[in-house]
Every structure is written in C-alpha cells, then in structure tokens.
Chains A and B, each alone.
Chain A
C-alpha cells in the first residue's frame, strides 16, 4: 500500500526566512505532485515532477524529486505572508492499470510578519 508522509505538518515562519517541506513515499513512483489549498478552497496545482532529479521553480517555491530516495522537497525562499496556506504532496498509485493520487496529510504553513 502506497503511503505518503509529509513533514512538518505545521510550520510557522517569519517573513523573509527559508524553509523546506519534505514528502516521503513508500513505493516506486516517478510522478509526484504538489498542491496548495487555501482555507475553504479547492486545490491549486503547483508542480508536477515526472522524473528523477526533476526540479521546478515558480516564484519563491522550488520543488525537487529524488525517486531513488523516494523523496520530494518543497523549498520556500524568503517567505511572504501570501504563501500562508496548506501544501499537499501527492503520488500516483498505479493499481491494476488505473492511476490514482494518494495524498500526504498536508503541511499548514503560516508566515508571520
């Protein structure tokens, strides 16, 4: 059974600081997704990482994937208040020819002024 673990689950940071969210998964997969969720809203796609060593950056967020270590990171650079949200990683689970996303528990990020 595919398990996806995120840490930390809660993160409170000061504006301007850097931090990394980690996402570990338990079985082989080459596809990892990062999403952002604001309170009361649905998911917003941030990154899709499709191969080992993939690195993608958008603004103050950078995501990477190490399929050998079964680890993805979401790095936050010089955080600003607008980044406050819950961040989920998700991994494709291929079962019997059908694919499904398995989500981590999410990391609630609060950026304080």
Chain B
C-alpha cells in the first residue's frame, strides 16, 4: 500500500528558532499533500493544503508567514515552523492524497518548543 514518510518523529527546539518537517510519498506521486496539527486530546485540524509547484492554500486563522509550506516535487512537501514559540508545541501530521479517494498519513512529528 501507499506509504508516507514523515521526519523527524520528535523534535525539541528553542523558542525563536525554526524547525523543518519533511513529508515524503515513497511509492506514489502526490500532487496534493495536507498538513494537520493536533493538540492533546483533540482532533486533527487542517492547517494547509500543499500543491506541487504552486503556493499552499492555508486554512482560515493559520499564519502563512509562520508556517511555511513548500511542495517542490511530486514526492516531497515540507513544513517550516518559523520563530517557534511554546504555543506552537503540538503533533503535526502530514497526509498525501493518492488517487481519487485515498488519503495516506505520515507517522507524525511531535514538536516541543522550550
């Protein structure tokens, strides 16, 4: 089946620094990838839709300049959390759309900002 690899799985960074999270589709091409954030004991909230070769589409309330998304190839999308603060600590999950109805999720990245 389709596999999406997400790295790193855990990252601790200092407040004010930037962190990059990678999401790769390993055995299929993904023109569309999605980035979610999940706070403890809550559901997944869509942050943005990443389209290969074009600008990402952000959901309402998500700061574009803070959460930079790049989808430079059909197998790689990256999320960079810029100038991270403790309130950005969360579980970030990417997803890639495969075919018409398939969504495959990465393993998630636990970000802790200290």
CB of A41 within 8 Å of the partner chain: yes
CB distance A50 to B101 under 8 Å?
yes
Known: A33-B103, A48-B101, A48-B102. A101 touches B43 (CB 8 A): no
B93 in contact with A106 (CB, 8 Å): no
Which applies to chain B's interface (DSSP): helix, strand, loop or mixed?
Answer: strand
Q: Are B108 and A100 in contact (CB under 8 A)?
A: no
Contact of B108 among A35, A41, A88 (CB under 8 A): A41
What secondary structure prevails in chain A residues at the interface with B?
strand
Q: How many residue pairs bridge A and B at CB < 8 Å?
A: 43
- Chain A positions 34-52 with a Cβ under 8 Å from a chain B Cβ: 35, 40-43, 45, 48, 50
Contacts of B105 in A (CB 8 A): 35, 42-43, 45
What residues of chain B lie closer than 8 Å to A104, measured between beta carbons? 43
Contact: A41 with B34, CB < 8 Å?
no
Q: Which of B49, B104, B106 contacts A98 (CB 8 A)?
A: B49
Find chain B residues with CB under 8 A from A58 CB.
Answer: none
Minimal beta-carbon separation of A51 from chain B (angstroms): 11
Q: For the complex, what is the distance from the CA of A105 to the CA of B43, rounded to whole Å?
A: 5
For the complex, give the distance between the alpha carbons of A113 and B93 in Å: 32
Interface positions, chain B 62-114, Cβ under 8 Å from A, are 93, 95, 97, 101-108, 110
Chain A residues within 8 Å of B, Cβ to Cβ: 31, 33, 35, 40-43, 45, 48, 50, 88, 92, 98-106
